[in-house]
Structure formats: C-alpha cells, structure tokens
Amino acid sequence: MKIRLAADLQPDSIVDGEGVRTVIWTQGCPHNCKGCHNPSTHDFNGGTLVDVDYIIDELKSIKNQDGITLSGGDPVCQSEACLKICKEAHKIGLNVWCYTGFTYESLLSNPMHLALLKEIDILVDGKFILEEKSYDLYFKGSKNQRIIDVKKSLEEEKVVLVNKYINKKDYSNHYEKPNYLFI
Ligand code: SF4
C-alpha cells in the first residue's frame, strides 16, 4: 500500500501535539483555507508516493518518541493508508494525533473515515480560518478548531474536548453556550 507524502518523516517535533512526536506530512488537501501555512501540500498529484511499510519500519527505528502526528495536507483523504500506519503505531506504543480540515461530526458518516477515527487518540479538527487565527492557542491555528479526545467522544456520542488545551479567554469568546464535555 502506498501513501502520498509532502515530505519525509519529521521526528522530534514538540509543536505538533503533546510530547515528542514524529510528524507524517501527507500530500493532498481539498479545503483551500485562506492563509494556509502549507499550500504546497494541496496538490493531490504532488509530493512523493511512499510505501506504507517503509513508514512503519521507520517508526520502529526512531527512538524516544511519544507518538505520531498525521498532518498535511489532509490525512483523512488517505484514510486507508493512514489507518494502517495508526494501527502499527499503536502496536509499538505510540499515541496518535491527527490534524484535519474536516469536522469530527462529518467524519462519522463515512465508514472508512470512522475506521480511521477509531485509531486516532486526539483529533484537531476544522478548517483554518484566518479571521480566527491566534498565537494564543495550544496546538492549533485558529479558534474554531477543536482538540478532541476521540475515544471518549465516540463512547459518549458527543464531542469531548481536551480540557487542558482550552485557553479560557478564547473559549469564552468562541463558545457562548458550550455543548461539550470536558476532561
Ligand atoms: S486543511 Fe490545513 S493544509 Fe488544508 S488548506 Fe486548510 S490549513 Fe491548509
């Protein structure tokens, strides 16, 4: 199985999720967010096709990582390959973060997307909205985006945000009447 990547694996990141992480930069994104920080990753024919087994072997050989982060691009557009990577990452003790321009809710109705969700620990969802950009946020670019505990959200059948990443000022600005559980 192949996956199209925008760049080689990037170990030792401390800005793409909690802890020390290896980032997998997927190629291809349909969202075209204004102000996107990474427009070279949009082209679905760009980047490089890489064997998923190569990525898994690399993940096994890279030391001292807490997890992997699927970013891009939009990893959900290559769900099948990402699912295989996530399963193998979990087997070797790595947790999984994933960034997507889709919303959590929109992924639930697609069986392949749902299968991928079930192998993701933390999902950062939603398009990047330039007007809501802030440097005051943890691990996300704009206030509309959410840092979601996927397993709890699936269990509770409602979005469960990761409380420790909520900036109170931004939270009160964006959600007047929150309908979320917090952990
Ligand atoms: S989802 Fe991410 S990669 Fe895609 S256009 Fe938006 S900011 Fe850029």
Nearest-atom number in ligand 1 for the CA of 39 is 8
Pocket test for ligand 1, best of 38, 44, 99, 124 (most atoms within 8 A of CB): 38
Q: Strand order in 10-13's β-sheet?
A: 10-13, 21-25, 67-71, 95-99, 122-125, 146-149, 160-161, 181-182
The CB of 160 under 6 Å from ligand 1? The reply is no
Query: Are 112 and 80 in contact, with CB atoms under 8 Å apart?
Result: yes
Residue with tokens 């996300």: 140
Instruction: Check residue 180 and give its pLDDT.
Output: 47
Chain length of the chain? 183
Q: How far is the CA of 80 from the centre of ligand 1 (A)?
A: 20
- Cβ(85)–Cβ(3) below 8 Å: yes
Q: What is the dihedral of CA 53, 57, 58, 60, to 10 degrees?
A: 140
Tell me if residue 63 falls in helix, strand or coil. Answer: coil
Q: Determine the pLDDT at residue 135.
A: 87
Q: Is the CB of 31 under 6 A from ligand 1?
A: yes
pLDDT of residue 54: 97
- Residue by residue, pLDDT tens for the chain (183 residues) are 999 999 999 999 999 999 999 999 999 999 999 999 999 999 999 999 999 999 999 999 999 999 999 999 999 999 999 999 999 999 999 999 999 999 999 999 999 999 999 999 999 999 999 999 998 898 999 999 999 999 999 999 999 999 787 765 554 444 433 444 444
Q: Per DSSP, which regions of 41-125 are E strands?
A: 48-51, 67-71, 95-99, 122-125
Q: Tell whether ligand 1 has an atom less than 6 A from the beta carbon of residue 75.
A: no
Domains and their CATH numbers in the chain: 2-182 (3.20.20.70)
Distance CA 25, CA 125 (A): 16
Ligand 1 neighbourhood includes 101 CB (under 6 angstroms): yes
The rounded Å distance from CA 164 to ligand 1 centre is 24
Instruction: Please state the pTM of the whole predicted model.
Output: 0.91
Q: What is the pLDDT of residue 171?
A: 47
